Amino acid sequence: MIRIDLEKAKPGMVLAKPVNNLQNMLLLKERVVLTERNIQMLRSWGVGEIWIEGGRSSEASDLAQDFDALQAAIDRELQEKFANVADDPLMMEIMRLAGKQIKRRLLRREAEHGTPAS
C-alpha cells in the first residue's frame, strides 16, 4: 500500500486504511472502492492524504498517464512537421502510420529498459 495526495485519488482505487476527518470521525472504512462521489466527499472534509492498496498499480497508472501525454506530444510534433503537406491525403496516411510506429518503438523500449526514451 502507499500514501497518496487526495488530489491523485481516482475512482477504482481501494482504500488500504480507514479515512477519518480531523475530529477523528470515521468517513470511509478500509477496503472501500473509491468513486468520484466519495472522493468529492473526502475533499469536502478537507482530507489531505489517503492510504490506498497496491502501490505499484497506482505507479503504473501514473506511468500510463505520462505515456498518454507522450503520445499526444508525438502527434502534435508530427502534425507540425507535416503542416506543409497537409493537403496530400497520402502524406497524411504516412503521418498516421509513422505515429503508430513511433508509439510501438516507445512501448518496446519501455518493455526493454523500463523507461520510455524520447
Partner 1 sequence: MVPQHLKNVIHHLNDLPTLPRTILKITELVNNPKTSARDLAKVITDDQVLTARLLKLVNSSFYGFPQKISTVTAAIVLLGFDAIRNLLLTTSVFDLFSSKYKANKEMQEKFWDHSLGCAIGAKVIGGFLKSEQVEELFVAGLLHDIGKIVEMMILPQEFEQAVQKTQEVPITIYQAEEEVLGFTHTEVGRLLAEKWNLPYKLTKIIAHHHDPSKAGRFAEETSVVHLADIFCRALGLGSGGDERMPPLQPDAWAYFHFSSAVIDHLLQEIDRTYYDISSVLVATKVEDQSV
Residues interacting with partner 1, by CB under 8 A?
Answer: 77-78, 80-85, 88, 90-91, 93-95, 97-98, 100-102, 104-105
Which residue, 7 or 80, has its beta carbon nearer to partner 1? Answer: 80
Torsion of CA 70, 114, 15, 41, to 10 degrees: -10
The nearest distance, CB 89 to partner 1, in angstroms, is: 11
- DSSP string of 2-22, one letter each residue: EEEEGGG--TT-BBSS-EE-T
Phi, psi of 2 (to 5 degrees): -135, 160
CB of 83 to partner 1, least distance (A): 5
Give the angle 72-76-81 at the CA atoms, nearest 5°: 150
Choice between 7 and 112, CB closer to partner 1? 112
The Cα–Cα gap between 108 and 105 comes to 5
Nearest CB to partner 1, comparing residues 46 and 114: 114
Residue number with CB closer to partner 1 (36 or 77)? 77
CB of 70 to partner 1, least distance (A): 13
